[in-house]
Amino acid sequence: MVAAGTVIVWVLLLASALLAPTLLSAAGLGPADGPGWSRVLGHLLVGVAGEVVVHRRRSWRSSARIAADLAVLLAAAMVIWLAWWP
């Protein structure tokens, strides 16, 4: 669920990065650069890696599943921390 949410946030950030400069300038609000490509790519990498883990973990032992789940949660928390509170 966390990985899928990260992918959804990536889609929104990508749209924002591509559309914000044009739309805000056209609205007369001045120049804008959007969220930045490092934030967009960070969400993409964590979201895709998390989804891969989610789909592959079904055949793993319980201890490996718990470790993988914790790794996905930690990665998502880190990308949120680094992207939203720089």
In the predicted model, what is the mean pLDDT of residues 2-19? 89
Helix axes 2-26, 37-56, angle to 10 degrees: 160
Pairwise CA distance, residues 6 & 83, whole Å: 12
Lowest mean pLDDT among 18-27, 48-57, 66-75, 77-86: 18-27
Residue pair 63/26 in contact (Cβ under 8 Å)? The answer is no
Pairwise CA distance, residues 42 & 57, whole Å: 22
Residue pair 73/57 in contact (Cβ under 8 Å)? The answer is no
What's the whole-model pTM score?
A: 0.78
Confidence of residue 86 (pLDDT cuts 50, 70, 90): low
